[in-house]
Every structure is written in C-alpha cells, then in structure tokens.
Amino acid sequence: MDCANHYDLLRRFLTKCRINFCVLPDELNRADMGLRDILSLSRTTVAAVALAELKNRCLYALHDGFCCTYLLFRQQDKTVCIGPYLSREISEAFILETAEKWGASPMSLSALRRYYAALPLLDDNSAVFVMVHTYLEEMWGDGYAMEELSPSAPREPATKNTDQGENSARSRWLIDNIEQRYEFENRLMEAVQTGQTGKLQTMLRGMGGMSFERRATEEVRDLKNYCIIVNTLLRKAAEKGGVHPYHVDRISSGFATRIEAASSLKQIPKLIEEMLYTYCRSVRKYANEHHSPPVQKALLYIEASLSGELSLSKLAHEININPSYLSELFKKETGTTLTEYINKTRINRACRMLRETTLQVQTVAQYCGIQDVNYFSKVFKKYTGQTPSEYRRME
C-alpha cells in the first residue's frame, strides 16, 4: 500500500468514526467545527499553531481554552488536523461560564450545548489513537516524537477484561435469565410511565444483582451500550406518561452526552439510577393531560424561551389565542397567574445557576430573561427572601 492509500484509509476511518479531519491551511474554516463562529471569535488557537513551523516527524496534541483537543502533524507542506474531541466530560456549568467569558448571547447557549454534545469523548485506549499511531509508524517508522502544546490532566486508562471463560459463563447465565430481566425492565418502564417514585425505589434495590449480556470487548463500553438502551426505553415511557416530546428530548439528549462521557464502571449504575428518577419525576412534573391545548402550548413556550420576552401579548400571539382568554384560562388551570408562573420559573432557574456556576449575577439575570439586574435582584429577593449574592454565599 503506497502513501496515498495509507492517507486515504486514515481519512476514511476517522470519517466513519465521526472524527473531524481536515488539512490546513486549505480547510481552515473546518478546523474547529464552528465553535468560534458560535462565539463570534476569530480562529486564533488552532490556526496559529497549525500554520506555524511544526517539526517534521512529530505528533502534536493541542489543548485549547475550550477543553477541546486536536492532533496535528506535518504531511509534506500541509498540516493534518484531527479533532476537536474531548478528553473529559463537559459540565453545564462549564458551558455557561464559557459563554459568559466570551460574551456570547443567551440565545447562543443552545448552539454551544449542541456543539459539545456532538464532540466525541476519547481516551488513550481509543481505536482512533491506535489508527493514527499505526499510520505514523508506516510513514515515519518508530522514531517519531510526540509533544503536547499545553498541560493535560492525566486520564485513567480504560480497563479491559480478557477473561473469556468468565465472559462465556456470564453469557450463558444471561441466556437462561433473559426473560426475567425483560420482565424487570417492563415493570421499571411502567413505574416511570405512571410516575411512581416509591415503587421505583423498591425495585431498584433488586437491580444490583442483575447481570448483562456481554456484547462489546470492554465492560465499560458494554454497560454504556446498555445505558443507551435504557435511555431509549425511558424516553418512550415518559412520553406515554404524558410528557411532551420537547421535555423528553431535552432530558434524553442530556443523558446521551453523559453516557458517552462515562469512563469507569462505578459511574454507570449511578447514571442508570439517576435516569430512572429523572424520567419518573418528569412524568409527575410535566404530564399535562389535565391541561387544555392552549395552556400546554403556553407552558412549553415558557420553558423553551425563558431567556426571551414572555409578555402576555407575546405568548398569546405565539399560540394564536386572545390574550384575555389565555390569561383567564391559565389562572383557572394552573392556579396562578401567567406573570407569577413566569417569575417563579425564572427564579428557580436563577437559583440553580447561582448554585452550580460562578457566573456573574448580571449574566444569570440575562440568561433568565431579566435584563435589568436591579429588577432581577428585587424579584429574586421577593421569592427567596435573599439577594442573589446572599443566596450564593449561603449555598
């Protein structure tokens, strides 16, 4: 196989793994997959390094200020750029603080969340690294160097289970007990669909002794695959329980990202338990079968647009209904006025942001749809009895 074929094979492999692959400077606009466009920044970090005089026969790992990592190496007179990818899980707090740091508008948050959710999470044992190193060994032999262009936190290597006899025994046991596991899953789905957290708690006590059929080489990957299946089952159960697809998709997308970010066996059972309770609570909180269609639409619009304008006239226009009728219907069905509901929802979100992030109070106010920080503090104190700063110190 000649050099061109090696190169083509590497590119096709990475593409199938959904890893970004580009050649610089020819494809500079693709280098960061649009991150700096979302934040309205110039492409400085990757461009500056990639267009600099990189040494030949050297693989570089570039870690930028957005927790993204790139692999770079010289290929004749060009620079090959692989990435971005993540080497650790990204929290919601990090996304919010990144948006604040670079002056992104609240409306850019959803795009930023989607960006990080789409990035692959790779560890040192990933097949991607094996493929890259194999390619470089073919091109350069064993004598090439590796350099990191910024500090990187050490990562726990993924563990491999090579005990094939144990795996076979586990598989045979699971075949004998597959019906029992399916019955257990169906009862879990029923508990979630009906919002029975008490029943769920009782059932979870028996979940620790369950075994799972091995389908992947690595046990962590095996359990992550099972998590994906459970996430799918739970989203269907919540939807049947009356939760609108908007809420179901938001919950499901968040867990999908966290599943891929899980890196150890200890994280998986806790993640499954959290998924079960979260979906179950969503049925109790969001099931709107007792609300009329106009009120359901109003509740969904409020949830999706909390950082924007939410006046009565705006809401009525969006759902194509008379403002007075909407106001009367909303109060009748929810027991609270529209303004009161919006304010409470905004302050609940503000409390969560103040607890979980280091965002400035003014930024929190903007993300909650209140542009005047003084008015925000006044409303916040009305509902919590404390100013935002006092609340953060108490937490």
What is the rounded CA–CA span in Å between residue 320 and residue 304?
A: 17
- Verify that 237 and 303 share a domain, yes or no: no
Q: Where are the alpha helices (DSSP H) in 51-209?
A: 92-101, 109-118, 127-140, 164-193, 197-204
- Verify that 144 and 28 share a domain, yes or no: yes
pLDDT above 50 for 261: yes
**pLDDT reported for residue 386:** 93
What is the rounded CA–CA span in Å between residue 352 and residue 356?
A: 6
pLDDT above 60 for 105: yes
pLDDT above 80 for 205: no
Q: How many CB atoms lie within 10 A of CB 84?
A: 24
Residue 360 binned pLDDT confidence (cut-offs 50, 70, 90): very high
**pLDDT reported for residue 125:** 63
- Verify that 26 and 48 share a domain, yes or no: yes
Residue 140 binned pLDDT confidence (cut-offs 50, 70, 90): confident
Average pLDDT rounded to a whole number, residues 277-286: 82
Residue 224 binned pLDDT confidence (cut-offs 50, 70, 90): confident
Q: How many CB atoms lie within 10 A of CB 326?
A: 20
- Verify that 259 and 329 share a domain, yes or no: no
252-256, 296-300, 326-330 — most confident range = 326-330
The CATH number of whichever domain residue 361 belongs to comes to 1.10.10.60
Of 286, 308, 323, the last residue of a domain is 286
What is the rounded CA–CA span in Å between residue 245 and residue 226?
A: 22
pLDDT above 60 for 22: yes
What is the rounded CA–CA span in Å between residue 140 and residue 133?
A: 10
Query: What one-character DSSP code corresponds to residue 108?
Result: G
Which residues have a Cβ under 8 Å from the Cβ of 382 and sit 6 or more positions away? none
**pLDDT reported for residue 161:** 42
Average pLDDT rounded to a whole number, residues 90-104: 85
Say which residue, 287 or 57, is predicted with more confidence. 57
Provide the percentage of residues in the chain whose pLDDT is more than 70: 80
**pLDDT reported for residue 160:** 37
**What's the pTM?**
0.56
- Verify that 83 and 133 share a domain, yes or no: yes
- Domain of 67 in residue numbering reads as 3-148
Average pLDDT rounded to a whole number, residues 315-322: 91
Name the average pLDDT for the chain.
Answer: 79
pLDDT above 60 for 191: yes
Which residues have a Cβ under 8 Å from the Cβ of 147 and sit 6 or more positions away? 58, 59, 60, 61
Which residues have a Cβ under 8 Å from the Cβ of 183 and sit 6 or more positions away? none
Of 286, 302, 337, the last residue of a domain is 286
**pLDDT reported for residue 153:** 35
- Verify that 110 and 9 share a domain, yes or no: yes
**pLDDT reported for residue 102:** 84
Q: What is the DSSP string of 207-243?
A: TTT------SSSHHHHHHHHHHHHHHHHHHHHHHTT-
Residue 152 binned pLDDT confidence (cut-offs 50, 70, 90): very low
Which residues have a Cβ under 8 Å from the Cβ of 76 and sit 6 or more positions away? none
- Verify that 382 and 297 share a domain, yes or no: yes
pLDDT above 80 for 21: yes
**pLDDT reported for residue 47:** 59
What burial class does residue 88 get, using C-beta atoms within 10 Å of its C-beta: 0-12 exposed, 13-18 middle, 19+ buried? middle
Residue 174 binned pLDDT confidence (cut-offs 50, 70, 90): very low
What burial class does residue 15 get, using C-beta atoms within 10 Å of its C-beta: 0-12 exposed, 13-18 middle, 19+ buried? exposed
Residue 55 binned pLDDT confidence (cut-offs 50, 70, 90): confident
**pLDDT reported for residue 60:** 87
